[in-house]
Amino acid sequence: MSSVSFDAADPARLAVLDTVPRDEITTAALAELVELAAFTAHTPMAAVSFLEADRACCATAIGIDIECVDSGNSFAATTLAAGLPHVVSDTREHDTFASSSLVTGETGVRFYAGFPLKVDGHGLGTLFVADKRPRHLPPDEAHALRVIADQASAQLKLAQLTRGSA
């Protein structure tokens, strides 16, 4: 398994994560963006997940029952390590994810496209879409999803400014 050169436990990152209230208002706003992402990419699954020190947890999701996964082989950590949109057309052909519970379990993720959510320069989580079958992501859909992810980041910033502890 390839390792991820991203320190999920970085105290500076976790400190920023703490300043963003993940309350009902934030979750409701993110849920709408997740719905929009699934609609835009025509996928049965979409979610926003936050990367904590040792696990990645879905704050809101469509078509995914798993709440948290280990950060070691998580899609979120890999996406945040790259700091860029991360598209996996077929997870079974990908070293890091072949053993992820999202891939091996009932959820059976084959296609994944994740986009970093950043606040104050730190990657806090991801917005992603997923499918049970391998597929490609056309450039115009990728662009639209990046815009939707930027909106999710803006919602986190708004939450921090209006209701946060910063």
Partner 1 sequence: MVEPPAIEREAERLASLESIGLDRTSEAAYNELVELAAFTAHAPMASITVIDRDEAWFKATLGFEAEGLPRVDSICGHTAAAGAPLVVPNLLEDERFVDNPLVTGPLGLRFYAGVPLILDDGLAVGTLCVLDQRPRTFLSDDRRALQIIGKQVAAHLSLAKQRNRVV
When the beta carbons of 87 and 148 are compared against partner 1, the nearer one is 148
CA 43 to chain centre: 15
Q: What is the closest distance, in whole angstroms, from the C-beta atom of residue 141 to partner 1 in the complex?
A: 9
Write down how long the chain is. Answer: 166
Note the residues at the interface with partner 1 (CB under 8 A): 29, 32-33, 35-36, 39-40, 140, 143-144, 147-148, 150-151, 154-155, 157-158, 161-162
CB of 151 to partner 1, least distance (A): 5
Beta strands, E only, the chain:
45-51, 55-62, 68-70, 86-88, 111-119, 122-131
> 10 or 32, CB closer to partner 1?
32
Of 79 and 155, the one with the shorter C-beta distance to partner 1 is: 155
Cβ atoms < 10 Å from Cβ of 84: 12
Nearer CB in complex with partner 1: 43/96: 43
How do 86-88 and 111-119 pair as beta strands? antiparallel
The distance of closest approach from Cβ of residue 65 to partner 1 in the complex, given in angstroms and rounded to an integer, is 23
Which tokens sit at 107? 């959820």
